[in-house]
Amino acid sequence: MKLLSLISSGKDSWYAYYLMLQQGFDIPVAVTFIPKNPESYMLQHPFAEKTPLQIKNMKSPPRHVLFNVSGVKEKEVEEMKSHLEKLVKAEKIEGIISGALASEYQKQRLDLICEELGVVSYAPLWHKDQERYLQEVVLEAGFEFLIADTCAEGIEKWKGRMINPENLGHFIKDLRKARANISGEGGEYETFVTKSPFFEMSKV
- Quick check: is 201 in a domain? no
Confidence of residue 202 (pLDDT cuts 50, 70, 90): low
State which of 122, 154, 176 marks the end of a domain. Answer: 122
- Quick check: is 76 in a domain? yes
- Quick check: is 157 in a domain? yes
Confidence of residue 186 (pLDDT cuts 50, 70, 90): confident
pLDDT digit string, tens, across residues 48-82: 999 999 999 999 999 999 999 999 999 999 999 99
Judge if 116 and 67 occupy the same domain.
Answer: yes
Q: What are phi and psi of 51, to 5 degrees?
A: -55, -35
The pTM is what? 0.96
Judge if 22 and 88 occupy the same domain.
Answer: yes
Sheet holding 162-163, edge to edge: 162-163, 144-150, 189-195
Q: Residue 169 sits in which domain range?
A: 130-195
Q: What are phi and psi of 158, to 5 degrees?
A: -85, -15
- Quick check: is 202 in a domain? no
Distance CA 162, CA 132 (A): 19
How many domains would you assign to the chain? 2
Distance CA 44, CA 17 (A): 16
pLDDT digit string, tens, across residues 128-166: 999 999 999 999 999 999 999 999 999 999 999 999 999
- Quick check: is 46 in a domain? yes
Judge if 101 and 21 occupy the same domain.
Answer: yes
Judge if 95 and 155 occupy the same domain.
Answer: no
State which of 87, 105, 122 marks the end of a domain. Answer: 122
pLDDT digit string, tens, across residues 5-54: 999 999 999 999 999 999 999 999 999 999 999 999 999 999 999 999 99
Find all residues with CB under 8 Å of 169, minimum gap 6, and list them: none
Whether the CB-CB separation of 9 and 192 falls below 8 Å is answered with: yes
Determine the pLDDT at residue 203.
Answer: 66
